[in-house]
Amino acid sequence: MSFKHFQEDRGQYIEGLQTESYVWYENDWKHDDNEDSHDFYQLNYVEQGYQYFHIEHKIYLVPQNNVIWIPANKKHRTTSEAKVVNPMLILFKSAPKKDFYNEVHVFEAPAVLREMMFYASKWNKARTEDHEQHFFLKALLGSLPNFCNDSFGLQVPVPRDSRLIPVCHYINANFQYNVSADDLGEIAKMSARNLQRIFKQETGITLQKYIQLIRIVKSIELIDLKRFTLSEVAYKVGYNSLSAFRNSYFAIMKTKPSGKS
């Protein structure tokens, strides 16, 4: 989500704001490809749809009813293929001096956090800050480590090694097929063994795990369309059975896929 759009929204600029926090809520947000970095800490909540956050060499999936915390001065951009995306964002000028606030976190928003985010929408795009806003959002900010459950978080690594980029592109275009390490090695112009070793060193995961992540990402996009049953989604992303897809989805997302079987 581009910071420039906050600055330019309806001709209002938030540079130089004297408030400690800024609330921004938008229905049916339209994404762009702008990369952004700013001095604000950022909390994003996705009320509807899903968003991908491209941060450094990782892509974080933030599904509906999840939040992402982004430390200040982290370069990031967002993308989404969802039909509708309703995001809510709160910017903070400062954060407590704890390790939690200096790292990216993605987690499901518990009911109390969702209610707090919705309540904060009363200050949407307000350029002044009253006492209630100041203390309420300060309490929300201080409570975030207690709400966070880092057991969830779909993170797709982006390798730095240029030899691996064509491999990732090929997997993204052919995820529904059974792709062998030998075939991928030919694309990378190295042996399958060396490819598997270098890929694991670069990304922290195996080739098979990467393929699994991409399949689950694509399944989330298909489920969001609401045009296919789960069985059809499973087949389209490369699984031979619904049970295999459900098991794979649960292993990554820690929840079962929703939709018609």
Q: Which tens digit of pLDDT belongs to each residue from 219-238?
A: 998 998 889 999 999 999 99
Co-location of 52 and 131 in the same domain:
yes
Which of 129, 154, 179 finishes a domain?
154
Domain CATH code at residue 235: 1.10.10.60
Q: Which of 8-22, 150-164, 246-260 has the lowest mean pLDDT?
A: 8-22
Co-location of 58 and 94 in the same domain:
yes
Co-location of 196 and 244 in the same domain:
yes
**Alpha-carbon gap, residue 172 to 15, rounded angstroms:** 39
Co-location of 146 and 30 in the same domain:
yes
Q: Tell me which residue range forms the domain holding 70.
A: 3-154
Higher pLDDT, 12 or 108: 108
pLDDT at 13: 41
For 143, the enclosing helix (H) or strand (E) is helix 131-147
Domain CATH code at residue 36: 2.60.120.280
Co-location of 22 and 77 in the same domain:
yes
- Average pLDDT of the chain to the nearest whole number: 87
Query: Which tokens belong to 75?
Result: 């370069």
Which of 127, 154, 181 finishes a domain?
154
Sort 227 into a burial class: Cβ within 10 Å, 0-12 / 13-18 / 19+.
exposed
Co-location of 27 and 146 in the same domain:
yes
Higher pLDDT, 209 or 149: 209
**Alpha-carbon gap, residue 153 to 61, rounded angstroms:** 7
Co-location of 124 and 78 in the same domain:
yes
**Alpha-carbon gap, residue 142 to 191, rounded angstroms:** 50
Higher pLDDT, 257 or 83: 257
**Alpha-carbon gap, residue 181 to 188, rounded angstroms:** 10
pLDDT at 45: 93
Co-location of 44 and 145 in the same domain:
yes
pLDDT at 29: 64
pLDDT, tens only, 64-106:
888 999 999 999 988 887 777 888 999 999 999 999 999 999 9
At 12, the pLDDT band (50, 70, 90 cuts) reads very low
Strands of 84-220 (E only): list them.
86-92, 105-108, 154-157
Which of 154, 184, 210 finishes a domain?
154
At 108, the pLDDT band (50, 70, 90 cuts) reads confident
Co-location of 120 and 209 in the same domain:
no
